[in-house]
Amino acid sequence: MELHLHRLDYTQVGVTSQKTMRLLPALGKKSTQKVAIADHDGVVTCFGMKKGEAVPVFKTLPGAKVARMDLGGAVGTPQEKIFVCSGSQVRGFTKKGKQFLTFEANLTESINALHVSGADLFVCASYIYNHYCDCKDQDYFLSGDKINDITCLSSEKLPHLIPVLACQDRVLRVLQGSELSYDIEVPGPPSVLELFNKDGGEEVLYGTTDGKIGLVQIGDCDAATKWEVGNEKRKGGILCIDTYDIIGDGVNDILVGRDDGTVEVYGFDSSSEPTLRFEHVLTESVTSIQGGCVGKESYDEVLTATYTGWVTGLTSEPQRAEAVQGDEVRMSKETQSKIEALSAELEQLQMKVLQGREQYQQSSQSSTAVSAVPVFSINDKFTLCQDDASYSLTLEVPTAIDNLLLQSDVPIDLLDVDKNSAVVSFSECDSQPNGNFLLATYRCQANTTRLELKVRSIEGQYGTLQAYVTPRLQPKTCQVRQYQIKPLSLHQRTHSIDPDRPMNRLSLVGQFSFAEIHSWVVFCLPEVPEKTPAGESVTFYFHNTFLGTQIEATYCKGEGHFKSDNISTISILRDVLSKEATKKKINLNISYDINDDSVSHTLRMIHPKLEYQLLLAKKVQLIDALKELQVHEGNADFLIPEYRSILDESASLLEEYKKQPAHLDRLYGMITDLLIDKFKFKGKNVRTKVSSMLEILDHYDLNSLLDFFSEP
């Protein structure tokens, strides 16, 4: 069944956080619903729609930034009380705007997730979960990694409310009281949770920061994954999910909002797997999504709130096309009055802008006036993409971005992004004296508020990437954001590794505390929680997104053991950990056990990538010559099928080659490092052998390369 939805913009509030908009329950079966939304200014706004205009019900005074919103009420009654959290405080409002609750949770960290069920209040700060009943402390739990969201299950089959936490370490933690009942492994860091059935049940929907969606059924002692939807098209991460029957087939559909502005509706056919039925792209990240009836009675819609505070509806109401006679356009009285009202509003705004400019000019020439730097917020995200082993940097600003300057003190490659229309220019850098390896400027087109970049780092080279963001504001102002490029930056946390691979071992023994060695591991590897884990020892598993090699890190007070099937990884760990220990003046006893089989194993893992890149480079070299032949002969029929296919695919081959700058050089560098590291552990310097190895790579053959590496 086809789904046709039309966009309508309702109103704009301040900058919003994730899950800060809710639809209040409808009074009648098909009547319109009121919208409650909170922003970074601390203002809670409730409005309804009347004759196409947003009519406010109430609006609170500004205060601390609102991080989350939820609806609550007595069990069995309409859930129409509005709860918001700011800092460590939770406030409650009635649907008319009267504040009936101010509850101070007295947490050291700000609340970033909230769930209300009857008299029960569940709040989460970065690592802490608290459960209150009638504002009295009930349960407490300290999570091993950051908590991103919380929901609670209530069902006749379940004896009590079951809280489920979405944690950054790719795990959903199911609690019972103050204890961990069990955890569920999910394919990415979960960013949002939603009950599949709002009336209760045991099924929970989750969305991940890398754009995957899944459904799990929670039991008393364990959980079952019902289905998972991948992210093959590399869309943005999931920020919000809701369930609502927008298609009208009696089955709840899944509404999804992503951080790249994509709004999706997934429906269910006869199979229990969801299928994409509708997609619409907004220009900024979608922070909240709800299904309901807002604009007009009897017409369902998908309501979204974006980062800059726009409340937008995708309505099922058919949009009437105006009748056109010759050059004359006939408009309904309703449309005419709308246009007149908008024209009058536009004139008023233009007058305000002119007055504001005049006042600014006068005050800027005054000797007593003080210039204030305009403050603006930046919504930024720096994440490792598993598919292509690159880092995605997303920057979003409430006003248009004028330009962005990227500076890095480590060698990194900038990759092409299709969605990015900014003009990039590179400046020459002095890499030796002041450690500048990259200076790139992005000049943005008009009204660009969101910018997405991709960079690829080299393992073993670590430092800082800095982004200087300048929006189109007067007076000119700039904000700097810093991102750490870690020594093993292309590694990602995983739940388990393959124990049958040939592993190299590195052991450290010394007078260091558990917190100290944990801080060194945080410095080396991404996705490790900054907080020192509870307990006496901990084990983390990682895999390399570029090569597929793996690491097992186990450490405790005074001891650290690291295993990897890549000798270069062990070499980087040894160098960085010993340097960090030297800074603290801690003596380390370092021992290692090198498995020679691991070198040939790593070369075999590099082989398919290297072979593919060499073939791609060879094909790209042939394109110009083949095109010249084709022009000379008039057609390409005389060419062998292999060459004809190169001509047919020339555009895609060139695009792929352009998207992967220095890919071949990167692989050559890895093989060179492997050679140097293998003999470094044996106490030999083989830099003289590198030129011989590069000759073998020029006429690449895996067996010749394996023979070369096995030479003493």
103 located within any domain: yes
Express each pLDDT in 606-637 by its tens digit. Answer: 999 888 888 888 887 777 777 777 777 777 66
337 CB-near residues (< 8 Å, 6+ apart): none
Express each pLDDT in 577-615 by its tens digit. Answer: 999 999 989 898 999 999 889 999 999 999 998 888 888
Q: Are residues 590 and 607 in the same domain?
A: no
187 located within any domain: yes
Of 654 and 549, which is predicted with more confidence? 549
Q: Are residues 81 and 131 in the same domain?
A: yes
Q: Are residues 146 and 37 in the same domain?
A: yes
Q: Are residues 611 and 471 in the same domain?
A: no
Q: What is the pLDDT of residue 660?
A: 65
* CATH number reported for the structural domain that contains residue 520 in this entry: 3.30.310.200
522 located within any domain: yes
Q: Are residues 569 and 444 in the same domain?
A: no
* CATH number reported for the structural domain that contains residue 146 in this entry: 2.130.10.10
CB 415 within 8 A of CB 661: yes
351 located within any domain: no
- The pLDDT of residue 1 is above 60: no
Q: Are residues 75 and 139 in the same domain?
A: yes
For residue 287, which of 246, 226, 239 has the smallest C-alpha distance? 239
Residue type, 428: E
Q: Are residues 580 and 540 in the same domain?
A: yes
Burial class (CB in 10 A: 0-12, 13-18, 19+), 647: middle
Could you identify the residue written with the tokens 């293998």?
678
48 located within any domain: yes
C-alpha span between 651 and 685 (Å, rounded): 44
C-alpha span between 86 and 109 (Å, rounded): 11
Q: Are residues 665 and 522 in the same domain?
A: no
The rounded mean pLDDT for the chain is 87
Q: What is the pLDDT of residue 83?
A: 95
Last residue of a domain, one of 238, 254, 278: 238
CA distances from 284 to 152, 242, 257, 426, 655 (A): 30, 19, 11, 27, 27
Q: What is the pLDDT of residue 625?
A: 77
- The pLDDT of residue 257 is above 90: yes
Express each pLDDT in 481-492 by its tens digit. Answer: 999 999 999 999
Report the first-to-last Cα separation within the chain, whole angstroms.
68
Q: Are residues 601 and 683 in the same domain?
A: yes
* CATH number reported for the structural domain that contains residue 458 in this entry: 2.60.40
CA distances from 615 to 406, 548, 659 (A): 33, 21, 16
586 located within any domain: yes
Last residue of a domain, one of 176, 205, 238: 238
CA distances from 452 to 126, 391, 419, 457, 480 (A): 26, 10, 7, 17, 16
pTM: 0.88
481 CB-near residues (< 8 Å, 6+ apart): 378, 380, 395, 466, 467, 469
Provide mean pLDDT across the span 688-708.
Answer: 85
For residue 461, which of 685, 681, 682, 669 has the smallest C-alpha distance? 669
Q: Are residues 601 and 590 in the same domain?
A: no
> What tokens does 159 get?
């004896």
- The pLDDT of residue 323 is above 70: no
Beta bridge partners of 113: 124
Q: 681: pLDDT confidence band, cut at 50, 70 and 90? A: confident
- The pLDDT of residue 324 is above 60: no
- The pLDDT of residue 320 is above 70: no
Provide mean pLDDT across the span 296-324.
Answer: 83
519 located within any domain: yes
**Domain with 512 in it:** 492-594
349 located within any domain: no
Last residue of a domain, one of 212, 238, 264: 238
Q: Are residues 88 and 155 in the same domain?
A: yes
State percent of the chain over pLDDT 70: 95
Residue 15 per-residue DSSP state: -
Domain count, the chain: 4
Q: Are residues 586 and 606 in the same domain?
A: no
